[in-house]
Amino acid sequence: MSAVTPSDLSRLSLNQETIKQWSLPELAEGCAKAGVPGVGLWRAPVQEYGVERAARLMRDAGLAVTSLCRGGFLTAVGGADRAAALADNRRAIDEAATLGTATLVLVAGGLPVGSRDLHAARERIADALAELAPYAAERGVRLAIEPLHPMFASDRCVVSTLDQALDLAERFPSDRVGVVVDTYHLWWDDRIADGIARAGDRIAAFQLADWITPLPAGVLLGRGQLGDGAVDFRRFRELVDATGYAGPIEVEIFNETLWSRDGAEVLAEVADRYVTHVLRS
């Protein structure tokens, strides 16, 4: 383990869900103190605190907001459900613009109740993107499609691979619709090197969590601290860097054990693991 220097952390961003036990002021103060220059935010805590107020808080702490999670859930078949989803995504775009982030992460949504048609659901996402992308572009926000692990395909996200995300994104200009590369969701895929190369300048966010087992019930909170699992982080970072991506590297871990610990201690561990496993190992 080597000493962590400030320049090591120049690209590091802490997604706030990693240290969910922190309030937004604690997050701002904790990151500033630790020399972590970026934060990824979630809509619910930001709305609760006030969007403009959260924007000011981060700005005053010298922190960049590297992404807002999340819009999406765009697989409704039509009618009121679809209209509500589109309206909610416009609000998410407005919030991203207010926070000063160019990246709104979209989780596509699962199969509607009773449907078994993944292809049709994916096409409805494309239709929704066509409606939302111009609205986002006017506000300086890029929509970033996040492929989620195939274990979420039925109930959360019918977009399961980077190639599928790119099949959708490439119907739009790259400055309007990008993709998220998250190691937790994509680590198992033997096509990932080609997928990342194909993504090129569409990489709107690069997120990290490790893959650990056994998975907990519901599987949502089973992500591991960097270095604890199966992911080869340095390889991912090198593949992403090779596209010319020089943006933030965001650590986003949902893990109840991390949430039960002292936030500053978790952040120090994240920074240390990041240097060891992502930058150097």
Which residues here bind a second copy, judged by CB under 8 A? Answer: 111, 116-119, 122, 149-151, 153-155, 160-161, 164, 187-190, 211-219, 229-232
Dihedral angle of Cα 281, 278, 179, 64, to the nearest 10 degrees: -160
What distance in Å separates the CA atoms of residue 53 and residue 102, rounded to the nearest whole number?
18
- For the bound state, the minimum distance from the C-beta of residue 190 to a second copy, rounded and expressed in Å, comes to 6
Nearer to a second copy, 119 or 246 (CB): 119
- For the bound state, the minimum distance from the C-beta of residue 111 to a second copy, rounded and expressed in Å, comes to 6
Rg value, the chain, Cα: 18
What distance in Å separates the CA atoms of residue 168 and residue 91, rounded to the nearest whole number?
22
45 and 18 Cβ atoms separated by less than 8 Å = no
- For the bound state, the minimum distance from the C-beta of residue 204 to a second copy, rounded and expressed in Å, comes to 22
- For the bound state, the minimum distance from the C-beta of residue 251 to a second copy, rounded and expressed in Å, comes to 18
Nearer to a second copy, 106 or 157 (CB): 157
What distance in Å separates the CA atoms of residue 5 and residue 20, rounded to the nearest whole number?
25
Nearer to a second copy, 105 or 159 (CB): 159
- For the bound state, the minimum distance from the C-beta of residue 157 to a second copy, rounded and expressed in Å, comes to 10
Give the number of residues written for the chain. 281
CA-nearest of 82, 241, 245, 113 to 178 is 245
Nearer to a second copy, 75 or 103 (CB): 75
Nearer to a second copy, 100 or 150 (CB): 150
| Count of C-beta atoms within a 10 Å radius of residue 113 | 5
